[in-house]
Amino acid sequence: MANEKRFIPSNRWFPTNLAARVIWFQNFATQFAAVAASLGFLPADVASVQDDNTVFQFLGNDADASADAWKSALRQFRIIITEFGIGSPTPAFPANPALALPEVIATGIFQRLIELRDRILAAPAYTDEIGALLGILTSTPGPTPEGELKPTIEIFDNHGDFQFKADVSRKGMPMFKIQFARITDADNYTDIAFGSSNPITVTIPPLNPGQPERILVRAILLKNNEPVGSPSAIVQVTVNP
């Protein structure tokens, strides 16, 4: 399997983080169903996209969240069963999440997507307006005015100690800051880390020590310690004890 060819859509038209990809794929499936016939595609093409999207939504939303929650519960069980004293109540072992694919599909979601995009672009009735609707237009590289800069943020290694690591695209700016908000107070963002290189380790003050928490995270570019452009897309992150 290590030598298998891998297919990843270009980041010039396809998002790079899972949360954004889930949103992108849902829009693509919805819009493709609306314009497929006018472009000469068959109902089977629409059905294939719908099935791929159903599985992608499941993997990117339900399965991912359930796996995170189970891993957090397993970690908490391990802490209690190993570190608490004799006589402490023994917790129930966390039940495995009951996960099952909503559709059985062949491997190759991204390869099918790449090839379908090529077919769409080659369709006689294709226009850039349709491309924009589907989200498949290639971005044109070039300098972006500072006021229009928007960083991207990717989160990884959020495995414990209420920490995670982040990569932030600086877009030519010297620094950035990371902010977070509680799910229950989604409009109240707090500066939590500043960086000038990647990756950066972020530690979140726990709301309830010993309990995992899902928070909202975003990045903002800085120049001369002043914000530049607009904040990144918001990413939901689970921080674990």
pLDDT band at 204 (very low <50, low <70, confident <90, very high): very high
Return the pLDDT at 3.
Answer: 62
Length of the chain, in residues: 241
pLDDT digits (tens, 9 = 90+) for 56-94: 999 988 777 777 888 888 888 898 889 888 999 988 998
Distance (Å, rounded) from C-alpha 29 to C-alpha 52? 9
DSSP secondary structure letter of residue 73: H
Distance (Å, rounded) from C-alpha 91 to C-alpha 166? 33
**Which of 64-68, 159-163, 184-188, 224-228 shows the lowest per-residue confidence on average (mean pLDDT)?**
64-68
Cα dist. 155→91, 139, 146, 198, 204 in Å? 31, 24, 24, 11, 13
> What is the CATH code for 146-239?
2.60.40.10
Instruction: Give strand pairing partners of 203.
Output: 163
Distance (Å, rounded) from C-alpha 114 to C-alpha 161? 39
Q: Model pTM greater than 0.85?
A: no
- Beta-carbon contacts of 67 under 8 Å, excluding residues fewer than 6 positions away, are 97, 99
Return the pLDDT at 141.
Answer: 57
Calculate the CA dihedral of residues 11, 13, 14, 15 and round it to 10 degrees.
70
Alpha helices by DSSP H, listed for 36-98, are 43-57, 64-83
Calculate the CA dihedral of residues 209, 210, 212, 213 and round it to 10 degrees.
-10
Whether pLDDT at 6 is above 90: no
In the predicted model, what is the mean pLDDT of residues 170-196?
94
In the predicted model, what is the mean pLDDT of residues 194-218?
94
Return the pLDDT at 140.
Answer: 61
